[in-house]
Chain A
Amino acid sequence: MKRLIYNGNVKFVLHWSDEMKNLLEELRKDRLISQEELANALSVSRQTIISLEKGKYNPSILLAFKISAYFGLSIEEIFIIEEEDLK
C-alpha cells in the first residue's frame, strides 16, 4: 500500500497488485461519478470499468487517452508504471 499525490494536492491510498496500478477508482469516487456513468462516457461496458479499477485489465493506448481526457489529467497521473514493469 502506498500514498500517492495527484493534481498537486489530493492524496489517495493505492493498493499495489501484480497488474499496472491506476487511480481510476479513487478519481471516480472523488468526483462522485458512478461506474455506469463513466462506462457510458467512455463507450465501454461497466464490467470493463470494474476490471480497470481492479487492475485486472490494462487499457489500450486509445482508451487510456479517453480516460485521461475525461478526468483532465495526463495518462501518467492516472496509470502508474514501475521500472520493473518496463524490463
Chain B
Amino acid sequence: MKGITVKKYTQLMLVLGFAALLVFSIDLIHPFLNDYMRGFFMSFGLSIIFVSLVFQNNKKYMAKSELEAKDERMIMIRQKQYSTGYYFHLFLTVLGIIGFGFFEETQVVSTILSGFILIETIAIGIFGTIYMKKY
C-alpha cells in the first residue's frame, strides 16, 4: 500500500491488539460480551501483539518487507493475486447463493450472500469511478 510503510503497518497491528485487549479487560470488569466474542478479543489481541512485536524486532525481516512493499514487481504480483483471488471468491459466493437458495431452511444464507455481492459490486463501482477520475 502506497504511503504506509511496513513499520507503520506493524505499529497499527500493535494498536489494534491493545485495543482488543482493552475491550477484553473492560468485559472482565463490566461483562457485556458472550463467551465467543470474549475468546475472540483475547486471542486476537494477544496473537497480533505477539506477531507485530516479533516482526518489529526482526530487522532483517523488516528491511526485506520494506523493500518488497516498494518493489514494483511485487506490487504487480500482489495486485494480480488479489484480483484473481476476488474472482475465485466471487465464483464461490455465486455457487453458495445458488446452492443455499434451493432449500427453504438455508435461503437466509443465500439472501445474506446476495447482499454481500450487491455491496461489493457497489463498492467496486465507486472505486472504479474514483480511479477513472484520478488516472
Of chain A, the residue at the smallest CB distance from B74 is: A45
Of the stretches B65-73, B87-95, B105-113, B126-134, the one at the interface is: B65-73
The size class of the interface chain A forms with chain B is: 10 to 19
Q: Which of A44, A51, A60 contacts B67 (CB 8 A)?
A: A44
Q: Choose from B70, B73, B76 the contact partner of A47 (Cβ within 8 Å).
A: B73
> Residues 42-69 of chain A: 1 if any B CB is under 8 Å from the residue's CB, otherwise 0?
0111011001000001011011000000
A residues less than 8 Å from B76 (CB atoms): 57
14 A-B pairs besides A43-B67, A45-B68, A48-B73 with CB distance below 8 A are A43-B70, A44-B67, A44-B71, A45-B71, A45-B74, A47-B73, A48-B71, A48-B72, A48-B74, A51-B73, A59-B72, A60-B72, A62-B72, A63-B72
Contact A45 B72 (CB under 8 A): no
- Please indicate the chain A residues that have their CB under 8 angstroms from the CB of B67 in the complex: 43-45
B76 shortest CB reach to chain A, Å: 8
Interface pairs (8), CB distance under 8 Å: A47-B73, A48-B72, A48-B73, A48-B74, A51-B73, A59-B72, A60-B72, A63-B72
B interface, CB within 8 angstroms of A: 67-68, 70-74, 76
Q: Nearest chain B CB to A37's CB is how many angstroms away?
A: 14
Report the minimum CB–CB distance from B127 to chain A (whole Å).
Answer: 22
Shortest C-beta distance, A47 to chain B (Å), equals 7
Taking CB atoms, residues of chain B closer than 8 Å to A51 are 73
| C-alpha gap A7/B126 in the complex (Å) | 50
Complex Cα distance, B71 from A48, in Å, reads 8
A11 to B103: give the CA distance in the assembly, Å.
Answer: 72
Tell me the nearest residue of chain B to A52, going by C-beta: B73
Q: Tell me, in angstroms, the Cα distance from A13 to B67 when the chains sit together.
A: 32
Please give the distance in Å from B68's CB to the nearest CB on chain A: 6
> What is the bound-complex CA distance between A51 and B77, given in angstroms?
12
In Å, the complex CA distance between A75 and B79 comes to: 26
Residues in B with CB closer than 8 Å to A45 are: 67-68, 71, 73-74
Chain A CB within 10 A, most for which of B67, B70, B76 = B67
Q: How far is the CA of A59 from the CA of B76 in the complex (A)?
A: 11
